[in-house]
Structure 1
Amino acid sequence: MIKIPPYLKKGDTIGITCPAGFMAKEKAQICINTLQRWGFHVMVGKTLGSNSTNYFSGTDEERRDELQAMLDDVNINAILCGRGGYGVGRIIDQLDFTKFKKKPKWIIGFSDITVLHSHIYTNVKIASLHAPMAAAFNEGENEFIQSLQKALAGKKTSYKLSPHPFNKNGTAIGELVGGNLSLLAHLTGTSSDINTRNKILFIEDIGEQIYSIDRMLYQLKRSGKLDNLAGLIIGGFTDIKDTDRPFGKTVYEVIQEIVAAYSYPVCFNFPVSHGKENYALKVGVKYELKVTNKAVQLKEK
């Protein structure tokens, strides 16, 4: 049974940390200002705008220790990851979730934070938030940022969108799992791997070659991750590249071909991505996915 962390109220504290790639503090200032305007206290970790001279926001030990401290701190009610990139996989096995399990809090982020979402879902059985991170606030307080605010406040999410010609109609009910396709493929066989049986799986990615997307989807297919889903949500695939000799299919055509044999509903072009369109989704929480010729709706149960 998945446990839902307490929802936030005014006066609660959100910690901001960068457990993966480096982020300049000034790029998070609008985020900090917005969270404060929403009525939250903000505790900024040293990894945000750190003195790191390489890709990461600090050494493995620095990033691990700061995230561990925020996980353990009973005065912090949610943890917003400043950015993703790469790095959580280097520290995930060194984290201790004992205190976090006793007093859970919302972990917020996407991209490389998929590692945290998946690990916590599988091993700690606590829901988390796949949602915009600090830099997204620089786009303005749009509906995607507002979806994070509503999710933190405990409002049940319901998203409706136009149909896509590749969709497969049907209704699915199940716990929502997923995130970045590259990370989900890399987590296969690790302690952070997820059991997708009877789940609604969502995937998105950025900056990959079309053949790499094809390869990672076959990794999920061959490892049984696509066999017994309740439903599948295909998000945005941004900045996708092709080889000099074309692969011959678009990303969505690749996905459509791979999932053709399955009978569960499939929704394409859902607004979850590395781009501006990135709705907050509660990982581990039960949703209903309804795909028809007229519309698609993803509704929290």
Structure 2
Amino acid sequence: MKEVTFPKSLKKGDKIAVISPAGAVEESQLEKGLTLIESKGFEPVLGKHLYTKFSNGYNYAGTEKERIEEMNWAFNNEEIGAIWASRGGYGCQHLLRHITLSRFRKNPKWYIGYSDNTVIQSFLLKNNFASIHGQTIKTSSFGVTDESYNLIFDVLEGKRPKYTIDKTPFNRNGFTEGTLVGGNLALVYALLGTNYSFNFKDKILFIEDIGENYYALDRMLISLDLAGVFRNIKGLIIGGMTNMGDEKDNKSYEERFDEFAYKIVTDRISKYDFPTAFGFPNGHIHDNRPLIIGANIRLKVAEKTTIEF
């Protein structure tokens, strides 16, 4: 793998494109986020189809053609300093075959998002560009801490995060370092066997998810195992697992770190010995702190878990 390119840092006054690559959004859902961008000294530039709606079995933010057009405009517009997804949902996979990076390669920019945006971040890393796995503009139904956004602006301005989190009984101690890959587990799973899948060799994998039945979580993990993912990675970080299983039966349904989901992960990786850190605050949770996909990190799992970029 070639050296990963980090986009240049933003300075006050730079423009941030806000686009909707997947699900549809309402203007009211973005007001707070757009105001925050302005308050930090940046200029939000709204995509032509940001609020477009197209219903085709799902409420997309426009047709595939419209969303592809908007994505390529954002990537290749030389006046844009960063790209921030309005939300996830479903639809980013539609775009993968059609993204062009002709001008982007000469002027790389940060792409910010999570959930369905994982596939865009995998695409970027396949092309040797880092991205930010962090909160989208739309305020999620969980609400989001101010720190979740402030830390994204820190990365945009050139700072690198360092995290310390408490241990969990599921952790597996150890130290490793390597390139961080991953994101939403359902999308990591969906890309397996395609040309757009992450390269897992000697990487540190991050996964999070929401709203999956326990058997579906188990199926995805087994698929990763059968594909050799766990045999190849050097470490594993697990973030939010929420709204898992059946709401009627799961007492942890609203918890950000579902213990039974964590147990399923633990069982599926038990034959491997890489360091494993559970409970990282990233995912579909209230405190969603950014990770840099494509960055080299140092992971130490001990009495306290530390992650340094």
Instruction: Classify the TM-score, shorter chain.
Output: over 0.9
1:109 to 92, 106, 113: 113
1:130 to 104, 129, 133: 133
The answer to whether the 8 Å contact 2:213/2:244 transfers is yes
Q: Distance in 1 between matches of 2:168 and 2:248?
A: 29
Letter in 2 for 1:169: N
CA positional deviation for 1:137: 8.3
CA positional deviation for 1:25: 1.4
CA positional deviation for 1:245: 9.9
Aligned residue in 1 for 2:254: none
Aligned residue in 1 for 2:35: 33
Aligned residue in 1 for 2:286: 276
The answer to whether the 8 Å contact 1:209/1:243 transfers is no
Corresponding position: 1:185 with 2:194: no
Aligned residue in 1 for 2:16: 14
The answer to whether the 8 Å contact 1:19/1:47 transfers is no
Corresponding position: 1:118 with 2:143: no
- Residues 37-64 of structure 1, C-alpha deviations (whole Å, 9 max, x = no match): 1000110113222243551000000010
Letter in 1 for 2:277: C
Query: What secondary structure sits across from 1:255 in the alignment?
Result: helix
Query: What secondary structure sits across from 1:91 in the alignment?
Result: helix
CA positional deviation for 1:141: 5.6
Aligned residue in 2 for 1:267: 277
The answer to whether the 8 Å contact 1:137/1:145 transfers is no
Q: Distance in 1 between matches of 2:139 and 2:206?
A: 20
Aligned residue in 1 for 2:304: 295
TM-score normalized with structure 2 length: 0.92
| CA separation of 1:98 and 1:15: change in aligned 2, threshold 3 A | same
Q: Distance in 2 between matches of 1:184 and 1:240?
A: 18
CA positional deviation for 1:136: 3.3
Letter in 2 for 1:33: T
The answer to whether the 8 Å contact 1:206/1:274 transfers is yes
Query: What secondary structure sits across from 1:89 in the alignment?
Result: helix
- Residues 162-221 of structure 1, C-alpha deviations (whole Å, 9 max, x = no match): 000010000111111100101001101111111111111000011110000000001101
- 1:35-114 equivalent positions in 2, closer than 5 A: 35-53=37-55, 55-114=59-118
Letter in 1 for 2:225: K
TM-score normalized with structure 1 length: 0.94
RMSD: 1.8
Q: Distance in 1 between matches of 2:66 and 2:15?
A: 21
Letter in 1 for 2:228: G
Q: Distance in 2 between matches of 1:85 and 1:168?
A: 32
Corresponding position: 1:149 with 2:153: yes
Letter in 2 for 1:62: E
Q: Give the number of equivalent residue pairs.
A: 296
Q: Larger deviation: 129-138 or 28-37?
A: 129-138
Query: What secondary structure sits across from 2:123 in the alignment?
Result: helix
- 1:215-234 equivalent positions in 2, closer than 5 A: 215-234=219-238
Query: What secondary structure sits across from 1:7 in the alignment?
Result: coil
Q: Distance in 1 between matches of 2:140 and 2:80?
A: 21
| CA separation of 1:224 and 1:84: change in aligned 2, threshold 3 A | same
Aligned residue in 2 for 1:258: 268
Q: Larger deviation: 7-16 or 45-54?
A: 45-54
| CA separation of 1:89 and 1:72: change in aligned 2, threshold 3 A | same
Q: Distance in 1 between matches of 2:213 and 2:198?
A: 25
Query: What secondary structure sits across from 2:281 in the alignment?
Result: coil
Q: Distance in 2 between matches of 1:281 and 1:27?
A: 24
Q: Which runs of 5+ in 2 are unaligned?
A: 251-258
Letter in 2 for 1:91: L
CA positional deviation for 1:242: 3.8
The answer to whether the 8 Å contact 2:52/2:62 transfers is yes
Letter in 2 for 1:128: S
Q: Distance in 2 between matches of 1:40 and 1:93?
A: 31
The answer to whether the 8 Å contact 2:37/2:44 transfers is yes
Q: Distance in 1 between matches of 2:216 and 2:41?
A: 43
Q: Which runs of 5+ in 1 are unaligned?
A: none
Aligned residue in 1 for 2:253: none
